[in-house]
Each structure stands twice: as structure tokens, then as C-alpha cells.
């Protein structure tokens, strides 16, 4: 954050949530003052207490899905806090996240807030971790890509080892709530094999900024069809940078979190990848890929 601030790149900081989540523990049968509740939970349900102490809200990508005004019919920024129903420790975050976002982005002339989707597996929504945007420039209309792991359609492929966290139905609901301009959204399925390998969210294997999309070939069910659909939807050239298994294995991409980097437009032009320190600890030098 200090590095980006020194470069003149503006950032917003969301405050942490109140932890331990005493209100949640009270709903689950613990009573008394705060200290008594924590001590009793630690004694009889330590796993539950750990979940109520979780700081998973530090992952801002799971906070909400946000559509900029250039993409919406009413020219407002639309914000839907994720319901995070797939895991208990995350499912307690949405009320505080929604309240924080409403406070930070509070001018109703410009911002339209939506309640988190109903908390059930049919509407499982993990926020911006499964959402990308392509555009010629940040201030103009773009194409939003909603990436889902499963759908209610029985014929659609599904992971076997791990549950997919984002549903197609949730992505479709968010796009309707955000009043997306016709033809300016795409729904793309994650590769079930990638989910089973540990890529629970799309941002573990793909990232985008303006007209650049960098991703691992194993990220999506059919990357060729995905590129074709994107090219058809965009009115500007899109630069795809696709990493193959030979460039970096799926397991190494997940363990290093390389694709969980930030792809940032620089004030003086060009882009920078700000990668996590784990990406430095590779067994061989990282090769950069040519655009397709």
C-alpha cells in the first residue's frame, strides 16, 4: 500500500470488522458478558470461537461486486455486498461489509447499494473474486465478466473434490440488480479441475485491467470459446496473455498466488504487476508470456 501511495495511485481502506463476533456467539446460545462468552466458547466450542475471530474480511475481493457507472443503465455505481454463504466464518461478514460500503460510498446521487443476495447455496455469491472487467479505459463503458463455478443446470460440469463457491444464478442476479447495459456482460464457467486443485475463486488464476487479461489456461472450462466471446462483446482489441502448464503448473500457480496479483495502470502510462511475495519463491525463474 505504501509503494502504491508513493506512486500516486489512490486507494481506499476498509476498516476491520469487530472480532470476536460476540453477536454471532450470542445467537448460537452463549450468554453473559463478553469475557464470559469468549471463555465459555473457548471451553466447549473452540472451533466456533476461531471462526468468530476470523479476519477473512481482509480479502477485499470478497467484499462485494461493483459495477462502475459507465456500465449501468442509470449511470450509477452499483454495489452488492457478497453473501459468502459457502463458509460459516465468512457468512457472518455481509451485514458489516454492506454497512461499511454504504458509509464509504454514501452519496445517493452516484451510488446504488443492494442488499446481499438471500443466504443460500442457490444464490452463493463470493463478490469481486469472481468478477472481472475489460474496457478501453477506466472511464468508458466496458464488458463485465461474471465467473461462476456451478449452476443449477444438472448437465453443467461440477467439481468433485471441493464445492464450487460461486453460482451462475447469483451472478445473473447481481447483473440484473446492477442494471447492466444489454450485451455488456458475459458469464464464464471456471474449470472444475481448477476448483478441485484449490482455485476456489477465479482471481486465483486470472486477472484483468483495461483491455488486458492475464490468465492460466486451466482457469476456465473452454478458454478458446471464452476469448472468442470476449472479442465479440468488446468494441476494442483485447490483449490476452495466457500462461500454459509448461509456463507455470496449475499447482504452482495456486501455491504462489501469482495470478492473485494486482494489475495496475500507472499514472505515466503502461501497467505494473504487483505480485505477492510467495511468487518469488519458485523453483525456476518466472517467464513472462507473449500476448495471443
Q: Running along the chain, 292 residues long, what does each successive block of 10 average in pLDDT?
A: 89 91 97 97 97 91 96 98 96 96 96 97 96 95 96 91 95 98 94 95 96 96 94 94 93 92 90 86 56 45
21 and 151 both lie in a single domain: no
pTM of the model: 0.92
Q: Say what the pLDDT of residue 12 is.
A: 84
Classify the C-alpha dihedral 227-230-231-237 as positive or negative. negative
Q: Say what the pLDDT of residue 277 is.
A: 83
Domains identified in the chain, total number:
2
Instruction: At 243, give phi and psi (nearest 5°).
Output: -90, 135
- Print the domain residue range for 18: 12-53
136 and 238 both lie in a single domain: yes
- In angstroms, the CA 68 to CA 70 distance is 5
**Residue 289: inside a domain, yes or no?**
no
- Environment class of 9 (CB within 10 Å of its CB; exposed 0-12, middle 13-18, buried 19+): middle
44 and 152 both lie in a single domain: no
Q: Say what the pLDDT of residue 292 is.
A: 43
Question: Are 94 and 81 contacting, i.e. CB atoms less than 8 angstroms apart?
Answer: yes
**Contacts with 51 (C-beta within 8 Å, 6 or more apart), sequence order:** 88, 89, 92
47 and 139 both lie in a single domain: no
Amino acid at each position: 500500500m505504501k509503494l502504491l501511495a508513493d506512486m500516486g495511485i489512490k486507494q481506499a481502506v476498509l476498516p476491520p470488522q469487530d472480532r470476536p463476533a460476540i453477536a454471532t456467539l450470542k445467537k448460537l446460545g452463549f450468554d453473559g458478558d463478553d469475557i464470559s462468552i469468549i471463555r465459555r466458547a473457548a471451553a466447549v466450542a473452540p472451533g466456533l470461537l476461531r471462526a468468530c475471530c476470523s479476519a477473512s474480511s481482509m480479502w477485499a475481493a470478497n467484499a462485494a461486486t461493483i459495477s462502475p457507472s459507465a456500465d449501468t443503465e442509470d449511470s450509477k455505481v452499483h454495489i452488492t455486498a457478497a453473501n459468502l454463504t459457502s463458509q460459516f466464518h465468512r457468512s457472518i461478514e455481509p451485514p458489516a461489509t454492506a454497512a461499511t460500503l454504504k458509509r464509504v460510498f454514501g452519496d445517493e446521487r452516484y451510488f446504488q447499494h443492494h442488499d446481499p443476495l438471500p443466504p443460500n447455496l442457490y444464490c452463493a455469491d463470493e463478490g469481486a473474486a469472481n468478477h472481472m472487467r475489460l474496457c478501453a479505459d477506466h472511464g468508458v463503458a466496458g464488458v463485465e465478466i461474471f465467473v461462476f463455478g456451478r449452476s443449477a443446470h444438472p448437465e453443467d460440469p461440477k467439481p468433485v473434490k471441493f464445492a464450487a463457491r460461486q453460482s451462475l444464478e447469483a451472478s445473473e442476479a447481481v447483473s440484473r440488480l446492477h442494471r447492466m447495459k444489454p450485451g455488456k456482460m458475459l458469464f464464464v464457467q471456471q474449470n472444475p479441475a481448477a476448483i478441485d486443485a484449490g482455485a476456489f475463486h477465479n482471481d486465483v488464476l486470472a486477472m484483468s485491467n483495461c483491455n488486458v487479461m492475464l490468465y492460466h489456461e486451466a482457469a476456465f472450462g473452454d478458454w478458446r470459446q471464452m476469448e472468442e466471446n470476449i472479442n465479440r462483446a468488446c468494441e476494442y482489441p483485447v490483449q490476452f496473455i495466457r500462461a500454459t502448464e509448461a509456463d507455470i503448473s496449475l499447482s504452482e500457480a495456486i501455491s504462489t498466488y501469482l495470478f492473485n496479483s494486482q494489475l495496475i495502470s500507472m499514472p505515466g502510462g503502461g501497467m505494473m504487476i504487483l505480485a505477492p511475495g510467495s511468487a518469488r519463491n519458485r523453483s525456476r525463474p518466472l517467464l513472462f508470456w507473449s500476448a495471443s
